[in-house]
Structure 1
Amino acid sequence: MVFTHSLPLVPAPVSAAAGEGRMPITATTRVHGSSPASAQLIDAVARRSGIRLSLVTTADAEIELRIDPTVAAAEGYTLTVDDRVVIVGADEAGLFYGVQTLLQLLREDESGWGLLRAEVRDAPRFPRRGVMLDVARHFFGVDDVKKFIDSTSALKFNHLHLHLSDDQGWRVHIDSWPLLTERSSATSAGGDPGGFYSKDDYREIVAYAAARHVIVIPEIDLPGHTHAIGVAYPELVEAPVMNDGLISESARLGQPLPVAGETYLGWGVGHSSVRIHEERTYDFVRDVVRELAEMTPGPYIHIGGDESLGTPQADFDLFAERATAIVVEAGKTPVAWHEMGSAANIAEGTVGQYWGKTVPEGTHAEEGKHFVERGGALIMSAANVTYLDMKYSEDFPLGLTWAAIIDVRTAYEWEPTAVLDVPDSAILGVEAPLWSETTRTFGDVERLVFPRAAAQAEVGWSPKSAPERNWESFRSRLGALAPLWKAEGVDFHPADEIPWSER
């Protein structure tokens, strides 16, 4: 194979080289391999090109998929496209990611459909590469979440954090506390329609994600962001505590202030808290965590911890200690936003999610580092570069600006290990959150998430020192994703800074 130019792949592989020309794809092209990835490849090619490949048992097929643990680290793969295709995964996840890379090489020209000839070796930089979908401020149903899983797993994300509760709504059924969904799920921010996941819905999402090598992390936000709990069970939640920011922001947006026992339709934060000194509160937390753990095969339960502005520090510390212990008792690893690092006795091994800025403000750095000191690790979600709900530009119709205005280049050019003074080994990876205050439809979600999620995918997957790991290379490779996204119906924002390809 003669190598001539770089390949239009996102995220950038460990190594990749392009050969001359293309391998044609036609209705007679066959796929050999017993992995579920074989069927996923066949379905994806059909969606993209209208050509349905055939799955065969003969080893002389034009496309071969197999597993060999010696080819790469976990989740890694090798891929060769010459006169035939061979994808070898280190495991099932690696084979799946090899298929996603192959799909980015599928192109149409005057002679029809074909695969760019290439040789790729690849494995991820960080083990944890996540996205978050806030279904509490605005609710998105099972089909929307499945589409979100499809389009993010195609970029090699392997965790989906579902923000299932907030002041505006409770979104998953809990048998032992049935009024949560009966009374606190009907509406969304601004009075838009709400909804919730039955246990069967939730299990369906988890299984769909698992088939694409995505671990679901459910979050119940505590002890703040809990107004909706009080609508269902008033005895569990304190009366709202107003703060200057809440009052001024509500007035600016023309939104109502929170009223105890009434559905909250605004966006303001920091006013709610569960009752820290009531034992029934911990019965509630224990029941919710137990039922979520029973439905969640992944190792994590996220218990929030952010913006508890109305909770005295001593009470917050007590709650953090007890809540993280409850998650451990349920056999899961607790995850919490970095503020919970202010509590001295969080459970050992608790994972912190840092959402401060790339230059830490106030006590954020110390709070983040405390998780590491307690034997845990960190997920980096620096708000001024990873928050997918921030505007692309001042005049963009969706999103907010409190953390930053984040164009695609800003989302790309940051380094997760450079934010906090902790060992590189303490950084599990990155997560890009999508908060849903302004996203009333799933199309709104997609326009904010894509293309910036692709930038975070490369930050999380690609080697920091890879030759292609630079803005000029990335913007060119990102532009080549347009035909694939259009074929999959992804309603991405065609940012002006990207040279988008037509074919």
Structure 2
Amino acid sequence: MIKHRRLLAALLVCLGLAALLTPIATATATPVAIAAAKPVTIPALQEWTAGGRPYTFGASSRILVEPDHAGALSADATTFAEDIADLTGRRPAVLAASRHSARAGDIVLTLGSPDAALGEQGYTMTVDATVVLAARTATGAFHGTRSVLQLLRTSTTIPGGTARDWSQYPERGVLIDTVPRGYSKDWWHNLIRELSYLKMNQLDVALLGPRGLTKAEILDLTAFSEKYHVNLTPWLSMPSHAFDTLRRHPEYRLANDPDNPLTREAFDFTKPGALEIVRSEIERWIDLFPGRTWSTGADEYMKFPYWLAPTFDDFPQFKRFAQEKTGNPAATSYDAYVWFLNYVNSIVKEHGKTLRAWNDTLQSTGVLRLDKDIEIEFWIRPYPVEKTLTPQDHTDPASSFGGHKLLNASMGELYYDSGLNLLDPRGLYNTFDVTRFNALNGRDVVTGEATKNLLGARLQAWMYSAPGKPDDTNEELAANLERPLRSLAQKVWGSPKLTGSYDEFITMMEDVGQAPGWVRTSKSDAVGTPVTALDADRRLNSLVTTASGRLLQSRQTEPGSFGWTSPQVIGTKITGTPALRRDVTGRLVFVARTTDGRLVTGRQGADGSWSAGATTIRTGVTGDPVLLADSLQRLAVVAPTAGAVWYGVQTAPAGHWSGSDLATSTTSTPSAVVAASGKVTVLAVDPDGRVVAVEESAAGSGRFGSPVVLTDGASGDLVVALDNDKKVTYFVRRENGQLVHGWQREPGGPWDPATAVLVEDSAGRPAVALDADGRLTLLVRTTAQQLIHRRQAVAGGGWVPGQEVLYGDLGGDPVVTTDAQDKLTLVVRRNDGLLIHKQQTALGGAWSPGAAFLATNLVPNAAPALTLDGTGRLTSQATATFGYVFNAYQKEPSGSFSRSLVVGALES
């Protein structure tokens, strides 16, 4: 299906309708105060009345199942106990006992609630010295256990009160494309746990295809999804996309047209013996699935998009078939398609299930009508519009085509396409509405009595890569679904939001966390900031630290290649961000801090490899090191220690290290630069918040004079740069948020006592670079999460008044450099974990109005790297929450970026 939707993507771009594919983040709604007494859950509780004693979970807490309902609830109670044990480390006993025997700390599960408004999925939760979960069905009671788990995630004490909670729509789910790839058992179990934790109840999977699911996988998935009250719906594509069936029965292919791959995937059900094959294909699998639904797909039969040939009328056998089966000479070729879906429906109903089909091929023509009990999955309203059915047509009982249950699977808001289109959790949270559907000609809305036939909504994750784009990894897919699932869960459950601000909702998501029992599936555990540098062969090398303290090294297989070598461990017990630089011989050298406070170093061998160990050159180090080359081209390192700043230098180029403590100490990472005089100048923020500068007494001597105090009140990391006149300048944030700039009066000379405040409300570490015309350019994040840009009015002089906002919603600090054409380029982490990229449109000019994304799910406290590779193309690397390092590279010097899958070499 999805490869043809990629054709639609290209067409939409040409038509200027690409917004249907990539949702645009909308402005955050006005924040709504969170009710102080209302517990935080996702989705939020429908109703909450505070009162009564608080509940505390403890070592003696038990789960009681009232004896009359033990048969229906005991298995769920056991699952609940397992999840609590994973969450708290304490597994409560599960007993069949009356609520009247409950003691403080117990949780009671019961059925028989008289509250009809709760429906099949709702429950009440009464919190006092005990918690009592009461529902009309086992599913409702199980949903109540998910709320308790979320509340116990943040505290073992739950405030007293009573909740009534139910879903506005019966279905909330996700479709996972299993046709082109497989997923591990742990991956599937994680997803099912997550769905259940969010009270989402639907998982759709492809049964057959180039990959599909094995029988063993099916049995495991059905058992695990039943355990967690998730309905597993298989989809066996018929009559379209019938890959597997036609592989075994190629004689039933509709047409072998090389210009239309869809006809090669289409099953011609009009041929003798075809219907028997259809029945056998369905009955081969259907009874393995205990769920209530079965999908036949039925999308994109013969063609896509729909204004292209062929049509049903291009195949005369359809009309003959329809007239023969109906006995009606007025039957059309399209009626054959409707007859076939009704035939499949009859088979599915024999097995006690409900049939589902995509909407796109259904039309308002012919004499036959689709069986009313077939549920429709609506993803797009295609052209020609006059023949297609709207969501209202499908659902309205008064319509001749209506009365169907309809699932919102809108392409514009609910589609994830690997390598092409991301879901927008902010847009889902702010604006998604189950009653509203996208269409090529605008939106269609379901109104009136027809809304009663809306099932809910489902995310679609399609895993065919776009042309020239890499597939997302399974771990990347899971991470990219995490926030959209939470946004959709809130909107489709339909309870009042606890906040109108998506940014506040992010905090709630972090509080609720992932489902108990979630396990890591990634083999890679990178967590640090990647550092990159070119070696003598013009190949980029990349270092990154892992959660286990290993320092991993990898390098490009060829200059400019997006292929990387297998990882090599070149250090252990490493913490923080290492420093990497090429020495005078062309070999790379790193220095890094260990968990026990040692400063270690390693050097690349002549063949480009690294030794497995690292040499200790200092102890008592408390922060990240900085590497530079002094005026004699020897590598030098500056690192903070418990009581000083240590300066180490090679005794000769590529030689051993010696060093001494400088007459100052620091609470943050120091900075160092070689001044116009050739002397190394070290700047640091001392424990009293003063910016101090210490300078070499003579160039290359390694001996330093007394510190000079430049300003006070500093609290952030220093950034030091040389301006166009080679004057040393510094930028630092004060405790009050002011970003202060100071400078030398003349190159290599004394410091000007004056300072300039460039930004009033800075929040992070600034980034500074020289523009093509020699003017310093400053980029910094503010407390309002805006990216502020300022630049000098003239090279080496004052600054242009005012400040320019380049971007908003930042979650990290910018990194900036120049590309091969000397245009400034920046990358920065957005608040939602996206790595975005902006660049100047001309030398020394304005910045691009938009921003392209390069990676997703970035680690919040790890900065990206941005480096020119050996072919003049910028490469950016950033660490993801699931332990991989993304690698984004320019397609050509100064051009747009393309993202490689990941730097797979950093997987270990």
Do both share a fold (TM > 0.5)?
A: yes
SS of equivalent residue, structure 2 residue 45? coil
SS of equivalent residue, structure 2 residue 435? helix
SS of equivalent residue, structure 1 residue 126? coil
In the alignment, structure 1 residue 313 sits paired with structure 2 residue 343: no
Change (3 A) 1:87 1:124: same
Cα shift at 1:427: 1.0
Cα shift at 1:462: 1.9
Structure 2, unmatched stretches of 5+, are 1-34, 304-309, 319-333, 396-400, 438-443, 466-470, 523-810, 812-828, 834-858, 862-908
Cα shift at 1:441: 4.5
Deviation per CA, 1:158-177: give whole Å up to 9, x if none: 222112234xx153xxxxxx
SS of equivalent residue, structure 1 residue 78? strand
1:433 corresponding residue in structure 2 = 460
Change (3 A) 1:501 1:468: farther
Query: Hey, what's the Cα distance between the residues in 1 that align with 2:458 and 2:344?
Result: 24
Return 80-89 or 56-65, whichever deviates more: 56-65
Q: How does 1:385-404 map to 2 (within 5 A)?
A: 385-387=413-415, 389-390=416-417, 399-401=419-421
Query: Hey, what's the Cα distance between the residues in 2 that align with 1:385 and 1:477?
Result: 22
Cα shift at 1:20: 9.4
Cα shift at 1:378: 0.7
In the alignment, structure 1 residue 88 sits paired with structure 2 residue 134: yes
Q: How does 1:38-53 map to 2 (within 5 A)?
A: 38-53=77-92
Change (3 A) 1:327 1:292: farther
Cα shift at 1:369: 4.5
Query: Hey, what's the Cα distance between the residues in 1 that align with 2:80 and 2:160?
Result: 17
In the alignment, structure 1 residue 60 sits paired with structure 2 residue 102: yes
Query: Hey, what's the Cα distance between the residues in 1 that align with 2:860 and 2:161?
Result: 20
Query: Hey, what's the Cα distance between the residues in 2 that align with 1:164 and 1:270?
Result: 21
Cα shift at 1:98: 0.1
Q: Is the 8 A contact 1:137 1:435 kept in 2?
A: no
Change (3 A) 1:139 1:427: same
Change (3 A) 1:38 1:360: farther
Cα shift at 1:496: 4.8
Cα shift at 1:272: 2.5
1:183 corresponding residue in structure 2 = none
Q: Is the 8 A contact 1:446 1:490 kept in 2?
A: no
1:366 corresponding residue in structure 2 = 389
In the alignment, structure 1 residue 348 sits paired with structure 2 residue 372: yes
Deviation per CA, 1:84-142: give whole Å up to 9, x if none: 21111221001100000000101456xxx444545321011011222212111212255
Partner of residue 338 from structure 1, selected from 343, 356, 359 = 359
Change (3 A) 1:106 1:281: same
Return 431-440 or 130-139, whichever deviates more: 431-440
1:290 corresponding residue in structure 2 = 283
Amino acid in the other structure paired with 1:418: R
In the alignment, structure 1 residue 303 sits paired with structure 2 residue 296: yes
Change (3 A) 1:203 1:317: farther
Partner of residue 443 from structure 1, selected from 475, 493, 509 = 475
Q: How does 1:6-25 map to 2 (within 5 A)?
A: 6-16=38-48, 23-25=55-57
Give structure 1 regions of 4+ aligned residues with deviation exceeding 6 angstroms.
499-502
Change (3 A) 1:309 1:322: closer
CA RMSD of aligned residues (A): 3.4
Amino acid in the other structure paired with 1:468: L
Deviation per CA, 1:209-267: give whole Å up to 9, x if none: 22322222211123222334333332222455455xx8xxxxxxxxxxx7xxxxxxxxx
Change (3 A) 1:67 1:216: same
Query: Hey, what's the Cα distance between the residues in 2 that align with 1:280 and 1:443?
Result: 43
Q: Is the 8 A contact 2:176 2:205 kept in 1?
A: yes
2:613 corresponding residue in structure 1 = none
Query: Hey, what's the Cα distance between the residues in 2 that align with 1:409 and 1:363?
Result: 34
Q: How does 1:97-496 map to 2 (within 5 A)?
A: 97-107=143-153, 113-166=156-209, 169=210, 171=212, 196-198=213-215, 201-242=217-258, 272-310=265-303, 312-314=311-313, 315=318, 317-331=335-349, 332-342=353-363, 344=366, 345=368, 346-356=370-380, 362=385, 366=389, 368-372=391-395, 373-387=401-415, 389-390=416-417, 399-401=419-421, 405-412=422-429, 413-419=431-437, 420-422=444-446, 423-437=450-464, 441-463=473-495, 466=496, 468=498, 470-472=500-502, 474-482=505-513, 484-485=514-515, 488-489=518-519, 496=830
Change (3 A) 1:238 1:340: closer
SS of equivalent residue, structure 1 residue 47? helix
Q: Is the 8 A contact 1:170 1:229 kept in 2?
A: no
Q: Is the 8 A contact 2:46 2:166 kept in 1?
A: yes
Change (3 A) 1:379 1:60: same
Cα shift at 1:32: 0.9
Partner of residue 113 from structure 2, selected from 54, 69, 77 = 69
Q: Is the 8 A contact 1:106 1:116 kept in 2?
A: no
Change (3 A) 1:208 1:487: closer
In the alignment, structure 1 residue 79 sits paired with structure 2 residue 125: yes
Q: Is the 8 A contact 1:223 1:308 kept in 2?
A: yes
Q: Is the 8 A contact 1:337 1:352 kept in 2?
A: yes
SS of equivalent residue, structure 1 residue 356? coil
Change (3 A) 1:469 1:225: farther
SS of equivalent residue, structure 1 residue 431? strand
SS of equivalent residue, structure 2 residue 361? helix
Query: Hey, what's the Cα distance between the residues in 1 that align with 2:482 and 2:519?
Result: 12
2:695 corresponding residue in structure 1 = none
Deviation per CA, 1:277-313: give whole Å up to 9, x if none: 3133322211122233323333322111222344633
Taking structure 1 as the reference length, the TM-score comes to: 0.76
Q: Is the 8 A contact 2:181 2:211 kept in 1?
A: no
Return 447-456 or 371-380, whichever deviates more: 371-380
Query: Hey, what's the Cα distance between the residues in 2 that align with 1:238 and 1:365?
Result: 23
Query: Hey, what's the Cα distance between the residues in 1 that align with 2:207 and 2:386?
Result: 27
Q: Is the 8 A contact 2:193 2:515 kept in 1?
A: no
SS of equivalent residue, structure 1 residue 138? coil
Q: Is the 8 A contact 2:53 2:129 kept in 1?
A: no
Query: Hey, what's the Cα distance between the residues in 2 that align with 1:416 and 1:479?
Result: 25
Query: Hey, what's the Cα distance between the residues in 2 that align with 1:208 and 1:121?
Result: 28
Change (3 A) 1:143 1:440: same
Q: Is the 8 A contact 1:289 1:301 kept in 2?
A: no
Query: Hey, what's the Cα distance between the residues in 1 that align with 2:258 and 2:380?
Result: 23
Query: Hey, what's the Cα distance between the residues in 2 that align with 1:108 and 1:11?
Result: 15
Query: Hey, what's the Cα distance between the residues in 1 that align with 2:519 and 2:276?
Result: 44
Identity %: 19
Deviation per CA, 1:300-335: give whole Å up to 9, x if none: 221112223446334565234213322223313321
Q: Is the 8 A contact 1:341 1:369 kept in 2?
A: no
Amino acid in the other structure paired with 1:381: A
Amino acid in the other structure paired with 1:277: T
Amino acid in the other structure paired with 1:335: R
Change (3 A) 1:86 1:288: same
Cα shift at 1:40: 1.6
Cα shift at 1:426: 2.1
